[in-house]
Amino acid sequence: MSSPVNYTLTDNIGVITIDSPPVNALSQAVRQGIMDALDVADSDGSKAVVILCDGRTFIAGADISEFGKPLKDPWLPEVVNRIEATDKPVIAAIHGTALGGGFEVALSAHYRCALASAKVGLPEVKLGLLPGAGGTQRTPRLAGIEAALQLMTSGVPIAAAQAMEVGLIDRLVDGDLYEGAMAWAQELVAAGAVPRRTSEQEIPAYDAAIFDAFRGTLAKRARGQIAPQRIVDCVEGAATLSFADGLALERSKFAELMDGEQSAALRHFFFAERQAAKIDGLSKDTPTRPVESVGVIGGGTMGGGIAMSFANAGIPVTLIEISDDALARGLSIIDRNYAGSVKRGKLSESAAAACRALISGATDYAALAEVDMAIEAVFEDPNLKKDIFAKLDAVCKQGAILATNTSYQDVDAIAAATQRPADVIGMHFFSPAHIMKLLEVVRGEKTADDVLATCMQLAKRIRKVPVVSRVCYGFIGNRMLQPYGQQSQLLLLEGATPEQVDGAMESWGMAMGPLRVFDLAGLDVGYKAREALSDEEKGDPASYRVPDLLVEAGRLGQKSGSGFYSYDEDRKPTPDPVVHEIIQTAAADLGIERRKISDEEIVERLIGALVDEGRKIIDEGIAQRSSDIDVVYVYGYGFPAWRGGPMYYGDSASL
Ligand code: 3H9
């Protein structure tokens, strides 16, 4: 088998080219190939060595599929040390994304250049790991302690220009990277440049208080996660130990994390996310339809957020409302959201203006005659939705995709309101739609394959993570939320308080406890939804007694200033004795004896409810695979990724 690493001597420069699609990950063959190439370069008369990659990117990291398996020589730390020890200048030339072990290869080179479009980063923390090939020791020597901590604990890659500012890259290359890197190598040779080893550099001055400050911030920002804290330990080691001892510390902490549950869960999640984009039985070559313009029906919070998601990806949107007033209201919410993005530094003023300019409004469906896709985002009234689809059927051009953003309704019944059910699909966004990453793509009985393939591809274009669901009440996510919510209500009646239930779930890792979520969504939403259900569909009456009583007492959640909690002007929740009383009275009426409930019981029953429903969803073929459910819960419902998702957790904890 030929090596994925090629070595040539061009003039007096040794060129190591890595070609291992799709992302040049550092598999054993790549590691060995680099070692072999360096052996040749040692003795072939080359005056300098350039390391670069073919394909779409520089090395994107260690090969994650090898993790958790027996180590195969040569080990990456050996490879990077070997690169650094080379006694002629080694230049890394970066395009695409130099990530993790890939960037550590670059850090062990003596000189680094990059295309301006390149990004570099150390995202190991997102896999529950730390940079384990010298990254924790070399980064602070080049960029200083603070920038190093920032880069590694966030895991967010930075642009080449920013990397140059902090000292991680020496030079930006215009035009062809190979030509630029070769010219620079010749310059270095002509100037008599020698190897400039990162390990030999001094760490720039720093304030020793920075380590504890980061530990404190991370304890809140990355609650429950071990890897960020270990990164701080290693960077502190870089500052206080010799390079060799720092490397040894890094190695032991890396091994500890690799063997731990959190990294195993996050590695599962890495592949789960990528797997979710694949549709069983649908070939990769399924044709897609062009989508260059979109109509959104309904200018409320959801419709506005959906419109922004498309505009932010450069796709023009026509927003439809029933009256000029409603349209003006909808557009003004969009204006406010863009102003908020500018204020928070998420978008520049000019970028926000350019996106906003792509959204126009209309009150006549005729404005949708030529759009490639129309997405209905009105409130959950099945008859209204069917009327809208009949109208879309009448005005939209042939081939247009007709999507509904319904959270619960029967997509097949909506499709039946048209003469073209094959063009109808569900696109279930999560609120706020311009921010939340999850998109449930609901495949109706008659949805055409090319419509499904188009929506999956489009999701990536608008920076969403798509997961396919078949049709059922609530699809994957909201269907599972029902038994989860019901358990939380039963726990209240049996003896817990809202703050205990939420506290237990948040300490366990959920972004927000269930009762705070219900208050955020509005208790009246569930109340109205229950009115449309049969007693059987509603389930155990005890499971909705308390929220019914709260709504009937005018406590609709955050929007009315009270629900399971009382809220101040900043929407900060405070436990409310009135709610405790409502719960106790309801329990007494239902003949439920209250008792002390442990936090462990709360977690076990709530997560158990999610897992049980998830298993039914798999058995019924609603979700394609259990890892898809994990993706839904992490991206849509604040489930901690470091626990792998509910199904992964349920299996590993034998729930
Ligand atoms: C590390 O480096 C540890 C070291 O510090 C120490 C070691 C001792 N390995 O995401 P995409 C696959 S930890 C194996 O859809 P994109 C991926 O599964 C690593 N496979 O493309 C997919 O396969 P498939 C630190 C990998 O263009 C295909 O490539 N590095 C790896 O949207 C395409 O991926 C990272 O965490 C990998 N490292 O995004 C970077 N990376 O087609 C992880 C990708 O069969 N990678 N694959 O489903 C990424 O962030 C993105 O893949 C990247 C491209 C931005 C590079």
**Given 124, 376, 440, 494, the catalytic residue:** 124
Determine the 3-state secondary structure of 362 from DSSP. strand
For this structure, is 104 an active site residue? yes
What is the DSSP code (8-state) at residue 44?
S
Amino acid identity, residue 350? S
For this structure, is 273 an active site residue? no
Q: How far apart are CA 280 and CA 257, in angstroms?
A: 33
In this predicted structure, the answer to whether residue 66 has a pLDDT above a threshold of 90 is yes
Q: Which of 31, 64, 247, 266 to mutate to test the pocket of ligand 1 (most atoms within 8 A of CB)?
A: 64
Q: Which of 18, 20, 23 to mutate to test the pocket of ligand 1 (most atoms within 8 A of CB)?
A: 23
Q: How far apart are CA 444 and CA 321, in angstroms?
A: 26
Atom of ligand 1 nearest to the CA of 22: 29
CATH number for the 294-469 domain, one of 3.30.413.10, 3.30.70.1400, 3.40.50.720, 3.30.70.980? 3.40.50.720
Burial of 357 (0-12, 13-18, 19+ CB in 10 A): exposed
Distance 34 CA to ligand 1 centre (A): 19
> Cβ(101) to ligand 1 under 6 A?
yes
Q: How far apart are CA 319 and CA 331, in angstroms?
A: 8
Q: Give the N- to C-terminal CA distance of the chain in Å, as an integer.
A: 45
Residue 487: which of 372, 392, 613 has the closest Cα?
A: 613
pLDDT of residue 537: 83
Protein residue with least CA distance to atom 39, ligand 1: 23
For 87-112, what is each residue's pLDDT tens digit?
A: 999 999 999 999 999 999 999 999 99
Protein residue with least CA distance to atom 19, ligand 1: 61
Chain centre to alpha carbon of residue 441: 17
> Cβ(274) to ligand 1 under 6 A?
yes
Q: How far apart are CA 508 and CA 137, in angstroms?
A: 32
Q: Which two tokens stand for residue 493?
A: 């009646």
In this predicted structure, the answer to whether residue 622 has a pLDDT above a threshold of 70 is yes
Q: How far apart are CA 623 and CA 83, in angstroms?
A: 47
Report percent pLDDT > 90 for the chain.
92
> Cβ(25) to ligand 1 under 6 A?
yes
Protein residue with least CA distance to atom 28, ligand 1: 22
Distance 23 CA to ligand 1 centre (A): 7
> Cβ(23) to ligand 1 under 6 A?
yes
Distance 28 CA to ligand 1 centre (A): 15
Residue 395: which of 292, 297, 289 has the closest Cα?
A: 297
Distance 270 CA to ligand 1 centre (A): 8
Q: Which two tokens stand for residue 102?
A: 């890939």
> Cβ(131) to ligand 1 under 6 A?
yes
Distance 420 CA to ligand 1 centre (A): 39
Residue 369: which of 393, 352, 345 has the closest Cα?
A: 393
CATH number of 477-621: 1.10.1040.50
Q: How far apart are CA 170 and CA 187, in angstroms?
A: 14
Which residue spans of the chain are classified as CATH 3.40.50.720?
294-469
Q: How far apart are CA 551 and CA 582, in angstroms?
A: 12
Protein residue with least CA distance to atom 16, ligand 1: 23
Determine the 3-state secondary structure of 384 from DSSP. helix
Which residue spans of the chain are classified as CATH 1.10.1040.50?
477-621
- Tell me the three-class secondary structure of 454-492, residue by residue: HHHHHHHHCCCEEEEEECCCCCCHHHHHHHHHHHHHHHH
Distance 129 CA to ligand 1 centre (A): 14
Q: Which two tokens stand for residue 390?
A: 């009949």
Residue 118: which of 96, 98, 93 has the closest Cα?
A: 96
**pLDDT-based confidence at 138, cuts 50/70/90?**
very high
For 264-321, what is each residue's pLDDT tens digit?
A: 999 999 999 999 999 998 988 999 999 999 999 999 989 999 999 999 999 999 999 9
> Cβ(168) to ligand 1 under 6 A?
no
Determine the 3-state secondary structure of 552 from DSSP. helix
For 595-604, what is each residue's pLDDT tens digit?
A: 999 999 999 9
Distance 24 CA to ligand 1 centre (A): 9
Question: In this structure, are residues 642 and 509 in contact, taking their beta carbons and an 8 Å threshold?
Answer: yes
**pLDDT-based confidence at 534, cuts 50/70/90?**
confident
Determine the 3-state secondary structure of 582 from DSSP. helix
pLDDT of residue 218: 97
Q: How far apart are CA 535 and CA 271, in angstroms?
A: 41
Question: In this structure, are residues 326 and 376 in contact, taking their beta carbons and an 8 Å threshold?
Answer: no
> Cβ(441) to ligand 1 under 6 A?
no
Mean local confidence (pLDDT), 460-482 = 96
In this predicted structure, the answer to whether residue 133 has a pLDDT above a threshold of 90 is yes
Where would I find the H helices in 277-359? 301-312, 324-343, 349-356
Distance 59 CA to ligand 1 centre (A): 9
For residue 324, give Cα distances in angstroms to 231, 275, 299, 331, 564.
55, 44, 11, 10, 37
**pLDDT-based confidence at 1, cuts 50/70/90?**
low
| E strand map for 410-527 | 424-429, 438-443, 465-470
**Given 66, 78, 84, 104, the catalytic residue:** 104
Chain centre to alpha carbon of residue 341: 19
For 319-342, what is each residue's pLDDT tens digit?
A: 999 999 999 999 999 999 999 999
> Cβ(63) to ligand 1 under 6 A?
yes
Mean local confidence (pLDDT), 404-415 = 94
Q: How far apart are CA 104 and CA 113, in angstroms?
A: 14
> Cβ(124) to ligand 1 under 6 A?
yes
Query: Torsions phi, psi of 565, nearest 5?
Result: -130, 170
In this predicted structure, the answer to whether residue 529 has a pLDDT above a threshold of 90 is no
Residue 590: which of 627, 538, 531, 546 has the closest Cα?
A: 546
Atom of ligand 1 nearest to the CA of 99: 30
> Cβ(164) to ligand 1 under 6 A?
no
Q: How far apart are CA 410 and CA 504, in angstroms?
A: 35
Q: How far apart are CA 126 and CA 152, in angstroms?
A: 10
> Cβ(273) to ligand 1 under 6 A?
no
Q: Which two tokens stand for residue 343?
A: 């204020």
In this predicted structure, the answer to whether residue 475 has a pLDDT above a threshold of 70 is yes
Look over the chain and give the mean of its residue pLDDT values, rounded to a whole number: 96
Residue with tokens 């739609």: 433
pTM: 0.93
Residue 211: which of 195, 192, 231 has the closest Cα?
A: 231
For residue 462, give Cα distances in angstroms to 384, 518, 546.
27, 28, 39
Which is the CATH superfamily of the domain at 5-253?
2-enoyl-CoA Hydratase; Chain A, domain 1 (3.90.226.10)
Question: In this structure, are residues 133 and 77 in contact, taking their beta carbons and an 8 Å threshold?
Answer: yes
| E strand map for 135-250 | 158-159, 171-173
> Cβ(62) to ligand 1 under 6 A?
yes
Query: Torsions phi, psi of 533, nearest 5?
Result: -100, 155
What is the DSSP code (8-state) at residue 511?
S
Q: How far apart are CA 479 and CA 399, in angstroms?
A: 31
pLDDT of residue 557: 93
Q: How far apart are CA 402 and CA 404, in angstroms?
A: 7
Q: Count Cα atoms within 13 angstroms, Cβ side, for 626.
A: 17
**pLDDT-based confidence at 240, cuts 50/70/90?**
very high
Query: Torsions phi, psi of 35, nearest 5?
Result: -60, -45
Contacts of 215 (CB under 8 A, 6+ apart): 229, 232
What are the residues facing 362 on neighbouring strands?
320
Q: Which two tokens stand for residue 282?
A: 């649908």
For residue 449, give Cα distances in angstroms to 279, 374, 535.
10, 18, 37
